[in-house]
């Protein structure tokens, strides 16, 4: 049994008066991949964005309950969202590289956190590009604009950029939904490698993907957590009828 | 019901009419430019550019007016850019949409709508008299700043708001602070747009006469400090022409003014190129 890294307890979330998350209680273990599945609008992204407090940016967003990271409530008074996000990285649905060079994209995080030493930066950039399986493709063109890369390369660059900050957790919000099958396969391979060092939470609409990459799966429906368990069990022996219906494509 | 004119004919007619409109627009421009250049060229010598005027400008050159114009632009630029961009950043990134932002935006709109002669009068009363800056580069430059500020604020705000939200989220998700995000990601992405706004503002200001005649003075002497009066080029050519001093000299001054405007625009293009190199290419 591995340690629990992230745990939500009775988490409720409202956007204005609309409740988007209802009493979510689940625990995500360390260095495992947890997949979140469910139909569009069921609150997957919302839940993911609670973990690194990206919902702080949304006006009129109100949260009750607890969200523990390493045992501390991330919404507690003593927690600084900026510090928290150094430990909990996020990769978004749409690749969003900065309009800068490849190098500057990866070095952005370390620089923002005060690193100036060029050799150290070089080392981190190389490491991160290697870890995101991009080094072979862009290692010799670090000064090229990131905007010129393909969508799949851009997404791996975004992963490299996240790795460069050395987080403990990486949140993926449908990282492959804008990518072709080959790029998708590369990202999935990458996730399978990264899970040895990072705790990963991934939102996906792709059932096969959830089955391939995750250890645990959570099924959300209309803001509620319907079922959470080992991926194998969720896919082979779901306890709830709605889970089974969703997985087998009978609704969604 | 079928139309009497076939689609192919109307297509051809539309093409001809658009071509005619475009030609008229371009020809008008060419004519104005050509006329001014032809009229002004005879007086355009090195000494015209490098000498001080004699006999109220009927002879000699226009160097003090060129220098004065540059100084005014510099004061305007150095004051309008930080204040304008600062205000725009506040409006676009920090202020929550609400009463305060609406009041500020409304104020900015109003400032944009004030006729330049009124700004000149205000500049005279407030800068020249009340603050004691007198007729000077400082008074003139700051009065022009009042005039261009709305442009700079509005265009900068639009450019900042046009930066994709995904970039802000990406930066914040890496543990950057709001200010780091704004200064390192959002602002650089908005630079091309902001530059255009500033250039538009400066382009407006450089040809402005009403504001500076109340604030910058009309001295033809070479300025030696910010507190010296100057006569800017447009005002110089206005006096040359309206007081019948010398039409030739007025056209010569116009050509120099046009070249300065052109130079500013080229600088803007260069800046846009420099910052635009990371933007999506098709
Ligand atoms: N910023 C916001 N302001 C108000 N309502 C929001 C906001 N973001 C999301 N919602 C609402 O919250 C609910 C959950 O949205 P969320 O984006 O979490 O769904 P999702 O499961 O990620 O869907 P998808 O699979 O389409 O990405 C939806 O009803 C959505 O309309
Ligand atoms: Mg989503």
The sign of the dihedral angle between the CA atoms of A221, A225, A228, A233 is negative
Phi-psi region of B225 (alpha: psi -120 to 50; beta: other; left: phi over 0): beta
Query: ∠ at Cα B176 (B180, A204), nearest 5°?
Result: 135
**Regions of chain A short of the pLDDT cut 50:** 252
- Here the ipTM equals 0.93
Cα–Cα separations (whole angstroms), residue A245 to A39, A227, A239, A249: 11, 13, 11, 6
Fold of A4-99+170-247: Rossmann fold (3.40.50)
Pocket probe mutation, ligand 1, options A18, A46, A178, max atoms within 8 Å of Cβ: A46
Residue of A92, A109, A146 with shortest CB distance to B166? A92
Residue linked to tokens 């008299």: B129
Q: Return the domain boundaries, chain A.
A: 4-99+170-247
CA pair distance A44, A28, nearest whole angstrom? 15
Predicted TM-score (pTM) of this structure: 0.84
Question: How remote is the C-alpha of B194 from its chain's centroid?
Answer: 12
* A14, A62 contact by CB (below 8 A): yes
**Closest Cβ opposite residue B175 in set A59, A99, A113:** A113
CA of residue B231 to ligand 1 center, whole Å = 61
Q: Would the CB of A41 count as within 6 Å of ligand 1? A: yes
Cα(A246) to ligand 1 centroid in Å equals 19
pLDDT at B281: 38
Looking up tokens 């007016």, which residue turns up? B65
- Ligand 1 proximity of A20 Cβ (cutoff 6 Å): yes
Do the Cβ atoms of B172 and A98 come closer than 8 Å?
Answer: no
Query: Under DSSP, is residue B153 helix (H, G, I), strand (E, B) or coil?
Result: helix
CB A39 within 8 A of CB A249: no
Enumerate domains of chain B plus CATH numbers: 60-281 (1.10.3720.10)
- Cβ(A94)–Cβ(A178) below 8 Å: yes
Q: Are A228 and A217 in contact (CB under 8 A)?
A: yes
Q: How far is it, in rounded angstroms, from Cα B114 to Cα B210?
A: 12
Residue with tokens 């900042």: B160
In chain B, which residue ranges form alpha helices assigned H by DSSP? 7-40, 46-50, 63-89, 99-113, 116-123, 137-161, 165-173, 178-181, 187-206, 210-215, 233-242, 247-276
Q: Of B167, B173, B278, which has the smallest distance from its Cβ to A85's Cβ? A: B173
Per-residue pLDDT of chain B (282 residues; tens, 9 = 90+): 566 788 889 999 999 999 999 999 999 999 999 999 999 988 888 888 888 888 887 888 899 999 999 999 999 999 999 999 999 999 999 888 788 888 888 888 888 888 999 999 999 999 999 999 999 999 999 999 999 998 899 889 999 999 999 999 999 999 999 999 999 999 999 988 888 888 878 887 888 888 999 999 888 888 999 999 999 999 998 999 888 888 888 999 999 999 988 888 888 788 777 776 665 433
Which chain A residue's Cα is nearest to B186?
A: A98
Nearest atom of ligand 1 to the alpha carbon of A203: 22
**β-pair type (A169-173, A216-221):** unpaired
* Closest of A106, A109, A202, A111 to residue A158, by C-alpha: A106
Question: How do beta strands A18-29 and A4-15 pair?
Answer: antiparallel
3-class DSSP assignment, residue A205:
coil
pLDDT, one tens digit per residue, over A70-81 is 999 999 989 999
Measured between alpha carbons, how far is A235 from A225 in angstroms, rounded to an integer? 16
CB A52 to CB B177 under 8 A?
no
The CB of A97 under 6 Å from ligand 1? The reply is: no
Does residue A40 have its Cβ closer than 6 Å to ligand 1?
A: yes
Q: Token digits for A228?
A: 């959470």
């Amino acid at each position: 049994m591995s340690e629990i890294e992230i745990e939500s307890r009775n988490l409720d979330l409202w956007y204005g008066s609309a409740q988007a998350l209802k009493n979510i209680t689940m625990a995500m273990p360390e260095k495992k991949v947890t997949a979140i599945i469910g139909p569009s609008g069921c609150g997957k992204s919302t839940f993911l964005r609670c973990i690194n407090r990206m919902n702080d940016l949304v006006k009129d967003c109100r949260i009750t309950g607890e969200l523990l990271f390493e045992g501390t409530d991330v919404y507690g008074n003593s927690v600084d969202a900026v510090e928290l996000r150094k430990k909990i990285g996020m990769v978004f649905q749409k690749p969003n590289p900065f309009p800068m060079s490849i190098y500057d994209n990866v070095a952005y995080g370390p620089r923002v956190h005060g690193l100036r030493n060029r050799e150290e930066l070089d080392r981190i950039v190389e490491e991160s590009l290697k870890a995101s399986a991009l080094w072979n493709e862009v290692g010799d063109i670090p000064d090229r604009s990131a905007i010129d890369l393909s969508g799949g390369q851009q997404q791996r660059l975004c992963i490299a950029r996240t790795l460069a900050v050395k987080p403990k957790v990486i949140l993926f919000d449908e990282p492959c939904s804008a990518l072709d099958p080959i790029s998708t396969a590369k990202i999935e391979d990458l996730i399978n490698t990264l899970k040895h060092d990072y705790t990963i939470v991934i939102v996906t609409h792709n059932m096969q993907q959830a089955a391939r990459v995750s250890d645990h799966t959570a099924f959300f429906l209309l803001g509620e957590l319907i079922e959470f368990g080992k991926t194998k069990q969720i896919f082979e022996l779901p306890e709830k009828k709605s889970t089974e219906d969703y997985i087998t494509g009978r609704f969604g | 019901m079928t139309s009497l004119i076939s689609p192919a004919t109307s297509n051809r007619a539309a093409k001809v009419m658009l071509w005619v409109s475009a030609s008229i627009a371009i020809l008008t421009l060419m004519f104005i430019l050509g006329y001014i250049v032809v009229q002004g060229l005879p007086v355009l010598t090195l000494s015209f550019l490098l000498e001080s005027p004699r006999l109220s400008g009927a002879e000699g050159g226009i160097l003090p007016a060129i220098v004065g114009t540059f100084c005014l632009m510099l004061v305007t630029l150095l004051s309008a850019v930080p204040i304008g961009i600062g205000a725009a950043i506040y409006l676009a990134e920090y202020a929550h949409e609400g009463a305060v932002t609406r009041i500020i935006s409304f104020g900015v709109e109003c400032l944009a709508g004030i006729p330049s002669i009124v700004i000149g009068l205000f500049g005279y009363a407030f800068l020249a008299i009340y603050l004691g800056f007198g007729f000077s580069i400082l008074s003139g430059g700051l009065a022009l700043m009042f005039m261009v500020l709305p442009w700079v604020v509005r265009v900068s705000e639009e450019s900042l708001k046009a930066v994709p939200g995904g970039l802000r989220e990406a930066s914040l998700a890496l543990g950057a602070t709001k200010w780091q995000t704004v200064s390192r990601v959002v602002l650089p992405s908005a630079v091309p747009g902001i530059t255009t706004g500033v250039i538009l503002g400066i382009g407006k200001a450089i040809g402005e006469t009403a504001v500076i005649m109340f604030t910058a003075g009309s001295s033809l002497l070479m300025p030696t400090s910010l507190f010296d009066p100057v006569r800017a080029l447009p005002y110089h050519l206005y006096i040359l022409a309206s007081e019948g001093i010398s039409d030739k000299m007025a056209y010569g001054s116009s050509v120099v003014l046009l070249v300065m405007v052109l130079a500013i625009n080229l600088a803007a293009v260069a800046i846009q190129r420099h910052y635009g190199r990371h933007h999506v290419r098709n």
